[in-house]
Amino acid sequence: MTDNNVNKYILNKPKTYEVRYIENKEPSKLVQLASYLGMKTVYSCGSCGNNKRFELLIDLRNAIGSHLTGRVYNTNQAENVAGDILRGRGDWKGDLSTGAFRKKNREDLSNKISNAVREHKNGKHIIRVVYNIPD
């Protein structure tokens, strides 16, 4: 008969064990982008009655490579910024240094912001970078 308990023949059995594992320390591309753009702090929305997190980093881009950016932490701010982007008001006008932003690009970004607000109001946490793809 074969004895399968080989540990009884070891005089000094270890009392502790060393566990080694490999951890993937490479962050995802979205995490890298969010980190690059400075998204570090997360806030609860508070403006729509939903206590889930809401943060959008908004990036309006044009065909010559210029862009305007902003950040919002609740749905009221997001809806106001979406309207400003669509109408070219406030910080979202563009000027000689940034160039013009086409209506189609403004509409695309405004729709993405509205979609994020809708998702949040349906109960989702939203922490996202939204941007348009310039044509």
Tell me: the pLDDT tens digits for 72-131?
988 899 999 999 999 999 989 988 888 899 999 999 999 999 999 999 888 888 888 998
- Binned at pLDDT 50, 70 and 90, residue 41 comes out as very low
> Do 34 and 129 meet the contact criterion of CB atoms below 8 Å apart?
yes
Choose between 42 and 99: higher pLDDT: 99
SS3 content of the chain, % helix, strand, coil (to 5): 35, 15, 50
Q: What's the average model confidence in pLDDT over 55-60?
A: 92
Return the closest-CA partner of residue 114 out of 88, 93, 86: 86
Mean pLDDT value of segment 20-27: 52
Q: Give the residue with greater pLDDT, 54 vs 31.
A: 54
Q: Which of 60, 51, 125 is nearest to 86 (CA)?
A: 60
Calculate the average pLDDT of the chain: 79
Cβ atoms 61, 94 nearer than 8 A: no
Q: 98: exposed, middle or buried (C-beta count within 10 Å: 0-12, 13-18, 19+)?
A: middle
Tokens 């943060």 correspond to what residue?
A: 55
Q: Provide the residue ranges of all domains of the chain, joining segments of one domain with +.
A: 27-131
